[in-house]
Amino acid sequence: MKPITLNEVIARELKDDEFKMYYEEEQIKNKIAEAIIELRRSEGVTQGQLANIAHTTQPVIARLEKGTDRRTPSLKLLNKIAHGLGRELSISFTASR
């Protein structure tokens, strides 16, 4: 039996519309998490400091950075983080692969 790779499994499962919707949602959460981590580190602030700046709690920032929260981060929270660090929140649409 030929071994199957994770990428092959994902490619097969992406043919299912419901799976594809959830998979893409998780990909978006992961991209948001990576962007928050990069921004926080570039500004030299801790999760606790960022939480204070964004008027939230450190556990919220930790879940946001881990991408483990079942909810997609709200635009309101993302905007608070951006403005708190002197940035503007930007959203873009790109062509599909």
- Whether 97 has a pLDDT exceeding 70, the answer reads no
**What share of the chain has pLDDT > 90, as a percent?**
85
What is the set of domains in the chain, with CATH numbers? Answer: 6-84 (1.10.260.40)
Indicate the pTM of the whole model: 0.83
What is the per-residue pLDDT across 61-70, written as a single tens digit (0 to 9) for each? 999 999 877 8
Q: What angle do CA 32, 96, 91 make, to 5 degrees?
A: 35
Q: What angle do CA 83, 62, 19 make, to 5 degrees?
A: 100
DSSP-assigned letters across all residues of 56-88: S-HHHHHHHHHT--SSPPPHHHHHHHHHHTT--
- Whether 86 has a pLDDT exceeding 70, the answer reads yes
**pLDDT (0 to 100) of residue 53:** 94
